[in-house]
Each structure stands twice: as C-alpha cells, then as structure tokens.
Structure 1
Amino acid sequence: MPQEKPDLRSLSEPVRFKRALTLVLMTLVLPGSAQIVAGSKRAGRYAWRVVAGLIAIIVFFILLGLIWRSGTINLLARPGTLRIVQVGLIVLAIGWAALFIDAYRLGQPLTLERNHRLTTSILDGLMVLVVAGALIYASTIVNTQRDLVASIFGNGQKSKAEHGRYNVLLLGGDSGADRIGTRPDSITLASIDADTGRTVLIGLPRNLAKVPFPAGTAMAKQFPDGFQWKNCGAECLINAVYTYASNHKDLFPGDPNPGVTATRQAVQAVTGLKVNYFVLIDLAGFRDLLDAVGGITLDIGKRVPIGGGSSPIKGYIEAGKDRHLDGYHALWFARSRAESSDYERMARQKCVMSAMLNQLSPQTVLTKFQGIAKASKQVVQTDIPAGELGTFTDLALDAKKLPVSSFSAVPPLIHTGDPDFELIRTKVAEAIGKSEALDKAGSGGDGKKPSTPSSSTSKPTTGTTKKPSKTSSPSNSPTKPATGVDDVASICKA
C-alpha cells in the first residue's frame, strides 16, 4: 500500500492548492513523479521503468528507421506487431489515467477551499480525458491500420525485382453493381527503380488491338496470332482481355482472378517487362479516396467536360493554374472522354497519379487516416504481400523527390488498330534507359546499374516481330501528345 505523507493542514491553503496542481502537472510531464514525491515510491519507480522502456523502444526504431527504413516499416506494419501496439496503447492509457487519479488523491482535495478543489478536479479530469483519450484514439488508428493491411495486402507471393526494377500494373476499372474492374478503363505499368524509386509510367491505350501473350500460356494457345477472333470486331481490344478471361475460367484452373492474370500476361508481352504485382482500383470508389485526402491541385490546360457520351454534358472543369479538385471533379478530369481522345485522357490520368504521389504528405495520411483507410478498402485490390509494404512505402517516399517520366503507346507513333509491338518494346526500353541514366549521372557516374537496361528488358516476350507501324492521327489529339519519353510534370502544365 502507498505510504501516505503527513497531513498538510498545517500548511497554508494557497500552498496546499499549488501543491495539488503541481502533482497533477508532474504526472503529465513525467508519469510516476508525483508518487515518488508524495506517495508510493515503489509505484513511481515502476512507472519510470515503463517510461524508460518506451523511450528506449522508440529510440531503437528511430535509429533502425534511419539505417533500414523499408525493413522498419515492414516490421511495424505487420498485423501481429500492430496488435501488440494497439493493446499496449490501451494498457498505457489505463495506467496513466490511474496515475492522474492517484496524483489527485495525493493532493488531498478535501483540505482545499471549494473553488480551489473545483479547479484541481477540473484540471485532473481534463488531463485524464486528454491523455487517455489521445492514447485510446491512437489505438483505434493502429487497429484500423491493422485491418487495412489484412484486408488489402494479403499473403501474396513475394516477387523479386527484375533487372533492378519493380514493375507494378495499375488497372483502373469502372464498377457496376457487383463488378470491379470488369473492363479496365485505364492500364498503366509503373516501372520503379528498386534503389532510387525513380518511376517511369508506361501507358497502354484501352483500344490497343491484337495484343499477344507470353508463349506457353493458356491465352497464347487460345490466340496464337494475338487477341482476335472471327467476327470479334471492335471488341478485340486489350481492355476486353479481362472480361474474356473472367468468362473462361476453365483456362485458368484454380486461379481466383483470371481477368487480372490474363491482362498481366498481355501487358508483359506488349512491353517486354515482367510484371511483379498488380493494383486494381475501382474508379468510382476512387472519388471517395480523393475526398478523404482533401482533393488534389492541378494545372488544367483546357476545359474538360463533366458527362458526355451516353449521357448529357452537365458542366465543365475549367482550365487554369492551381485548380483544386475534389474527388468528383478529379475523377471526371481523369476519365472524361467527351470532346477529347483516349490518348489525351491517358495524359490526364498520369497527371492525377503524379499529383497524388507528390501531394499526399505524411501529415495528410495521419490526420485523415480513418477516412483514407475506409475508402481504400473499398477501392483497392492488390497482390502486393503485406511483407512488401515497407519496401514500396520506402520507394514511394524516395519517388516524391524525383520527377516521373512516361511513355504512352499512342498515335501517331503507334497505330493502335495494328500495333508494332517490337517498336513499343523498344520505346519502353528507351524510356527506362533514359530514366536510369539520370540516376547514374546523379551518382557521379558510379551508379549501381548501367545507363541502359539489360538487353533482355526489351526482348519480345512472344518472339513475334510485327511490320512497322502505320501512322494515324486521332480525331482529337492531346494538348501535348505523349508519344515519346516525357517528364510527367511537363505534360501536366496548363
């Protein structure tokens, strides 16, 4: 039992009042110090040991993060680790609250005048609410993070970087009542340097025809001359690969997501790059995610219709610099087809991706985490394993510091109705080579990787050589055609 201090009635009332306030504030600054001074020294020392242990753990992870950032994030992002942290925060909240209550008791409030006793009670109650409440709220955030990791990042197979790069397939799909990404509306391959995070966005138009598949796959056997069949017409496009594979699951026995598998295979054959992982984004739900982060700011070169196609145009997103867009308007900016071409729309989508990468700060994530997590679970599917979360978070932090470059396989360079896939693979290799050359130049000429990608990077996956591409111009060309290797920032300027 705590050893009580002698009765303090011999002290003047103002002194007793100051003493009571001091004990409460001491508990705020250093938990257990009030007990060391006026109560059970054993309890106070125990509290100090807990505080010292927590400080040591925090310092350890800070130092580990400075030495090995990706590994530290991986460790902290594990559901098991997050569960331990969640329980620890709840226990800490209860223990700290108990110390505040004991500090209030040690101040002998019954010996104080009414107003002073009320002031002390209010201060102590406020401290309990603020400190314990903050810790409980932190525990709910940790629990949300654990739930998010478990629901999105499952137990997928870890995929090693190919020639020093991670290639992540980004699919954006319209969702119906029960279909997410049934026909991808946006197909982009993000090729990320595994050392620096420098990223090249490779855009494939949804109307790319006759796409091949890697030799030996079920789709290559089904379509030896590319994705086409008799009387298929305009439906033989790369964005229909997902639907075809989903409707022919017998070609993919045991595969829970044949649509993604077939699309991934097509992208590998078209670009010549191994696809390590995919991320499937529901574009309709993407609006909620953008709202959760507070929207994005863009330079808009020409006004973009809201609506169009099978529905009337409801309005326009007007041109201008530093235009702030909420989720609704940012989504229409990315997906609108009216009064523009698919290729211009692809450029706008890259601008949205780049804006999210550059504008989504750690502060935004922390302050709006609950909304982001809720939206993300409804928006994102991926096969990136939970154990790789730290690796890609680390690369994303590095990528924020570097310009993003891009290549899009669009007219006039590529005739989408009869593409030259050898030319596409050559241009993809050139884009990656230019990106890697920037890192080599930045390292003073002694970078880890050569300035051009390995010859296997641009090797045709199918071994098929197409005739030179035909040149054609879209009916409504982009403001800045993305037919070469571009800095994304340059094509996103008003």
Structure 2
Amino acid sequence: MRTAMHHDRTSALGGTYADPAGATARIRFRRALTLAAMTLVMPGSAQLVHGNKRVGRLAIRVWLTVIGVVLVLALVSLIDRQFIFGLATNGTLLTLGRWLLIALAVGWVALIVDAWRLGRPRELEGAHLAISTALHGVLVVGTAAVLFFAAHTVSVMNGFTDAVFASNTVSEPHEGRYNILLMGTDSGDDRVGMRPDSMNVASIDAETGKAVLIGLPRNLENVPFPKGSVMREQFPDGFNCEGCYLNAVNTWANDHADLFKQKEPGIDVTMSAVEEITGLKLNYYALVNMKGFSNLIDAVGGVRINVRERTAIGGIGSPIRGYIEAGERKLSGDHALWYARSRVENDDWSRMGRQKCVMNAMVRQLNPRKVIMNMQDIAESSSAMLHTSIPRQDLNVFMDLALKTKSQPISSVSLVPPVIYTGNPDYPKVRRMVAAAVQTSQGDSEIQKSAFATARMPVIEVGAEAEKKDPRKANRSADLDESC
C-alpha cells in the first residue's frame, strides 16, 4: 500500500512514472507543430519525412530554385542595378511573375494543409487539436495573403506602366544629361485650353544622377522658336501677340492644329520653345495634373515640408478658406497642392520657389517601401496625374537615376526678376545662366567662377531673418535641402 501511494505521488509530481497516454499525446502534438514549422521554413520537407516523398522532393526543388534566383538577383543588383530594374519593368516578365506567385501561393497552401493532415489531427487531444488547427490556419492565411498581395502588386505595376509609359521612342542623353520638361496644370470646366501653371526643366546627369531644376516663369514674353518651324513662320519676332506668354504656346498650337503634322502639337511646340529659351535639348516631357498630384501625396501618407511663409488656401477664383501656417508641417495632398500653387498674398516667384521645395521633398521622402505598400493608390493617382513621353524601355534608367538623385543635393536656377525680366527677357543671358547652372551641378569650378558668378541672383533685401524664411531662395540654390 505504501509503495503504491509513493508511486502515485511521484507520478503526480512529474517524475519517472508519468502517465504514458499523456506523454504520447505530447509527442503527437510536438510532431504536428514540427511539421508546420518545417513546411513554413522549407516547403515539402514535411512530406519528405512523413508523407509523399515524391511531392516533397519536387516542392523542395522548387523552393531551392526560388531561393537561388533571389540570391542571384540580389548579387546582380549590387553590380548592375539598372539590369534588375529592367527585369522589374518588363511586361512579359511581370505577367509571368504574377502567375508564378499565384502558383507558388496555391502550392504552398496545399503543402501546409497536407502538413496538418500528416500531423494526424484525429489522434490529437481537444486542446492540442485546436492549437494545431489554429496555427495551420494562420500559416495558410498569412502565406496566401503575402503571395497574393505580391501578385496583385505586380499586376498593378504592369498595368500602370502600360497605361502611363506607352511611348516607344527612346531618347539618348544629350551631352551626358537627360533633360525633362515638367509641366503642371489644372483641369477644370472653367478653363479654355491647357495652360501649364508651372514649368520646370529637370536636367539630370546620366552617370551621377545629380540634378538641377530650371524654373521657367509661365508669363515669359516674346518666346523664341527654332528656325524653320511653323511657329517661327507665324511669329518671326517671338511669341508677341496679346496675352501670348510661354504658358499659352500649348493652347495656341492646339487651336491651330491644322498647321502642324504632330499628333500633339501643343506639347511639341512648347518643348521646342523651351529648347530655344534654355539652350538644352529635351529628351522627354511629363505633364502633371495637379489634382492627381494631390492624390499621389495622399497615397503615400502626406509630405513633410518646412513651410517658409504663411500661405493662403483658396483665393484663386474663390474666397480664402484658410491658411497653411509657417513652420515644420506634414501636409495632406490638398494642403501640399495649395502650398505649391497659391499666389494670393505673395507672387509668382514665391510660388515657383515653393514648387521646387515640394518637388525636392517628394524626391527625398518617397522610398521603395512606401511605393510597394501603396502601389494600388499610387498607380490610380499617377494614371490620373501623369502624361509623359518617357517610354517603358527607359524606366529602368530613370529608376536608377532617381535613387542616385535622392542621395545628393538638388540645385536650382529660375528665370525670375530682377535677373530676368519676364516682359522683356534677355534670352542669351538666360542660356548663359542655364549653362552655368548645369556645369555647376557637375562640379565644374571654372564655370562656377565665371559665367555662373555673373548670373548670381541678388540677396533679397528684406532683412536677414526674413530672408531666411523667403521661399524665393529656392529659385536659386546650390542645395534645395538648405533653401527649403
């Protein structure tokens, strides 16, 4: 009797004589959990150990192939990032990749379910069965969600690039630089024709990605046109009709489309005029709809801006409905748009400076993680926002340049008073300013000492403290991070 009681007490304390049935249940439970972990880490390993070995070997080979491809691509990206970007924007590869991700999701989920079956759920105790089933369910949902999200992102990116980057004309860099005309416009029922509210040329070094933004006032007069062009025949002394400013070139050409052979005469003529003004050969254009730009900022969660001056919201054809106060602010799409376009209580030159600061902030703050996690919203806003001649074939080049540009200062020069008077521009001087700014961004110290020095914009005479806060500083800056 005493011996039996001793044995029972020892068993209750977890000693040598533990319940054999309980130990067996724990072993079965651990096996079920182990099979789940094996399937998560190495799909097919559970089947190789306890199930259909043929299925297990096939799944492991597929998994090792996927890991091998990822590792090879990671190594190649360290050597040739453009090549990887080229693969990531290739329509055929994106379509294939989408279906492979879907197939991988279905196969992996099937292996997880089979691993649950191999864990012999009917032999598990109630609590163990519930935990095992819940764990396998989480793995099924998590694995499927990740892979189906990846497949959806690939599909969205493929559709977006097809819709927006539809051009097939590739332009090589000119004198080692890509020059892109950026035009911002509002669309609305109250507007006749399309007159860009903002115009900038982004001149980017094709090797280093170092960029300079050249701001073009929308009200430049007597705009020149290239020799032999239709516009030169119509306006031999420059664009000098009533109300004929730079931003009206597009509307005039579209209203007289019968004079031109081009499909988009307004944009083509505007590009040729900008080439004459700046002396730069343009590669591409990007026409940005301001409403779409606002949606893009909302899609990435807003943009952080050092607001240099109190800026009115509204007031352009409507009452002022509020203000964006000075200071460090995170702006929504609507507020960022008003900060970039408002001119009610200041002037066009202030607005041009603020526009450069918003562009600089977007370059700095957009990153691959934000783009991937918000691809659906970005694609929808960008499709409504962007019309461009950049072809899909060149996307890898500009994706690589964007990362290079992000890592270094962006400089700027604007053709604004008092250096350039928009009513009577000195276009030879404009071209010297542009050439000097481009050379300075490349680090040419001799050019900087000569031509750029003669084009230096005077200090704004508003007092030292006020001058620090004046957004017009961004119109002429060696580093927009410091001026903005």
Q: Partner of 2:213: helix, strand, or coil?
A: strand
RMSD: 2.4
The alignment partner of 1:311 has SS state of: coil
- Pair 1:490 & 2:470 matched: no
CA contact under 8 A between 2:354 and 2:471: conserved in structure 1?
Answer: no
Q: 1:10, CA displacement in angstroms?
A: 12
5 Å-filtered alignment, 1:112-123, equals: 112-123=124-135
2:412–2:475 CA contact under 8 A, matched in 1: no
Q: Which runs of 5+ in 1 are unaligned?
A: 1-8, 442-450, 459-467
- The alignment status of 1:31 with 2:43, answered yes or no, reads yes
Structure label with greater radius of gyration: 2
Question: 1:227 maps to what in 2?
Answer: 239
Q: CA deviation at 1:179?
A: 7.8
Given that 1:100 and 1:127 are in contact with CA atoms closer than 8 Å, whether structure 2 keeps it comes out as: yes
Aligned partners of 2:193 and 2:251 also within 8 Å = no
Residue matched to 1:279: 286
Q: Residues of 1 paired with 2:22 and 2:339: CA distance?
A: 75
Separation in 1, partners of 2:119, 2:69? 33
Match of 1:349 in 2: 355
Q: Does the 8 A contact of 2:357 with 2:474 survive in 1? A: no
Instruction: Tell me the equivalent position of 2:200.
Output: 188
Distance 1:483 1:185, change over 3 A: closer
CA displacement at 1:480 relative to structure 2: 3.6
> 1:410 touches 1:416 (CA, 8 Å); kept in 2?
yes
Equivalent-residue separation in structure 1 for 2:429 and 2:258 (angstroms): 33
For residue 383 of structure 1, report the CA deviation from its aligned partner. Answer: 0.8
Deviation at 1:71, TM superposition (A): 2.1
**CA apart distance, 1:40:** 1.4
> Using a 3 Å threshold, how does the CA distance of structure 1 residues 64 and 169 change in structure 2: closer, same or farther?
same
The yes-or-no answer on 1:74 pairing with 2:86 is yes
Picking from 213, 218, 240, the partner of 1:201 is 213
User: Mapping of 1:4-153 within 5 angstroms?
Assistant: 12-153=24-165
Secondary structure at the counterpart of residue 171 of structure 1: strand
* Deviations 1:157-198, CA, capped at 9 Å, x for gaps: 100100000001100001115989811000000000000000
Aligned to 2:443: 437
Overall identity of the aligned pairs, in %: 46
Q: 1:330/1:66 Cα in 2 relative to 1: closer, same or farther (>3 Å)?
A: same
Is this contact kept in 2: 1:196–1:395, CA < 8 A? yes
Q: Whole-Å Cα distance in 1 between the matches of residues 240 and 278 of structure 2? A: 19
Question: Which portions of structure 1, spanning 4 or more consecutive aligned residues, are displaced by more than 6 angstroms?
Answer: 178-181
Give the secondary structure class of the aligned counterpart of 1:184: coil
Aligned length: 450
Answer whether contact 1:436 1:452 (CA < 8 A) is retained: no
Q: Where does residue 251 of structure 1 map in the other structure?
A: 259
The alignment's TM-score, normalised by the length of structure 1, stands at: 0.87
One of 327, 330, 333 as aligned partner of 1:324: 330
TM-score (norm 2): 0.88
Unmatched 5+ stretches in structure 2: 1-20, 462-466
Is the contact between residue 474 and residue 480 of structure 2 (CA under 8 Å) also seen in structure 1?
A: no
SS at match of 2:319: strand
**Contact 2:364–2:406, Cα closer than 8 Å, also in 1:** yes
Structure 1 distance, partners of 2:191, 2:27, is: 71
Structure 1: how far apart are the matches of 2:475 and 2:297? 28
Matched, 1:238 2:246: yes
1:247-272 deviation per Cα after TM superposition (whole angstroms, max 9, x unaligned): 1111222x332211111111000000
Between the aligned partners of 2:302 and 2:476, the Cα distance in structure 1 is: 29
- Contact in 1 for aligned 2:356/2:474 (Cα 8 Å): no
Distance 1:353 1:135, change over 3 A: same
For residue 394 of structure 1, what is the amino acid of its counterpart?
Answer: D
1:115 CA drift (Å): 2.3
Secondary structure of the residue aligned to 2:442 is helix
Assess, with a 3 A threshold, how the Cα gap between structure 1 residues 179 and 43 changes in structure 2: closer, same or farther: farther
Aligned counterpart, 2:9: none
Q: 2:375 aligns with which of 369, 376, 383?
A: 369
CA contact (8 A) 1:39 1:106 kept: yes
Q: Distance in 2 between matches of 1:35 and 1:484?
A: 66
Q: Give the aligned partner of residue 344 of structure 2.
A: 338
Determine the structure 2 residue equivalent to 1:447: none
Tell me how far 1:156 sits from its aligned partner: 2.9
1:304–1:333: 8 Å Cα contact kept in structure 2? Answer: yes
